[in-house]
Amino acid sequence: MGHYASRRLYHTRRLVLGALLGAWMICVKEVLAALPNVEAVSLLVIVYTAVYRWYALVPIYVFVAVEAVLYPYPATVIMYLYVWVILFGAVMLLPRGRVLPAAVYAGISGLYGLCFGILCAPVQAIWFALTPEGTWSWILAGLPFDVIHGIGNAVIALLAPALIRLLCRLEAKM
């Protein structure tokens, strides 16, 4: 196989990998949709970013694109364009090339879930023409849900080290 053919195969594999990882994010989200404010998409963003670094943006935006088709509510689509990148950025700040203790991933994911309402507030404020007082009321009204979101994220993120190791092993076999 020539150099050009092997590069094409590599890029084709990466493209398929990005689509499959994004599809897995959608499946996990839909499976847990019945549980209020409990999700594992944050876990997958953490795992993908820890393993693939910048390439993790591909499955993240595959997820966002499919979510936009499935649930075309504009405010949610706009929020999804940036909220997942914030979590991605937090994980990118972690040391590269080693699996950290579960408590680190749980802390990041829990804090992210706790802050989710605040992260979404700018879009909600603009979309619903909220005053600053209305925005604060919206944030405070959602705080109990954000607490549930944060606790759920922290518990689910305890799986991150095992999933990172598994994905690294699978990646080495490709």
Global confidence as pTM = 0.93
The Cα 74–Cα 128 span in angstroms is 12
| Closest among 25, 30, 56 to 42, alpha carbons compared | 25
Side chain identity at residue 158, one-letter code: L
Reading the block at residue 70, the tokens are 């499935």
**85: domain CATH number?**
1.10.1760.20
What confidence tier does 2 reach under pLDDT thresholds 50, 70, 90?
Answer: low
Higher-confidence position of 4 and 92: 92
Over its C-alpha atoms, the chain yields an Rg (Å, rounded) of 17
Cα–Cα distance for residue pair 128/123, rounded to 1 Å: 8
Which tokens in the block code for residue 88?
């991605």
What span, in angstroms and rounded, lies between the C-alpha atoms of 140 and 153? Answer: 20
Q: Is the dihedral of CA 53, 55, 56, 61 positive or negative?
A: positive
pLDDT band per the 50, 70, 90 thresholds, residue 44:
very high
Domain count, the chain: 1
Kindly report the average pLDDT of the chain as a whole number: 94
Domain that holds residue 55: 3-173
